Amino acid sequence: MSFKKAGNIFHSLLFRLAGAKYRDFVRLVLVWEDVVGHLLAEKAKIYKVDGNVVFVKVDNNIWMQELVLLKPEIKKKLERQSGIKIKEIVFFIKNN
């Protein structure tokens, strides 16, 4: 069995476990690092999806400013790679 097939099995299982309620959340989380890059993905994580609004928790103000500047590009890439129409992306500083 190839790794690609194993990855497909994992994704299929993940979507099945998530169910319809969390399908968009899972799809967005799976493409997040590809969209923003490894460094930003370490500093910012998708927290929840409510309707078509994506909430992203960010480590601090510096990284939030970077994400806000990249927001239109991030939104476009997220929509393209996930196939989900996004109304808004809301960034917030996470509480420890």
Query: SS3 of 81, please?
Result: helix
What pLDDT is stored for residue 73 in this prediction? Answer: 97
Nearest-angstrom CA–CA distance, 32 and 40: 9
pTM: 0.79
Average of per-residue pLDDT across 36-59? 95
Q: What angle, rounded to 10 degrees, do the helices at 61-82 and 3-36 form?
A: 130
- Any idea which fold 20-93 has? GMP Synthetase; Chain A, domain 3 (3.30.300)
- List pLDDT tens digits, range 31-47: 999 999 999 999 999 99
Looking at 3-7, 43-47, 69-73, which range is the least confident one?
A: 3-7
On average, the pLDDT of the chain sits at: 85
**How large is the C-alpha radius of gyration of the chain?**
14
Mean pLDDT of 78-86: 94
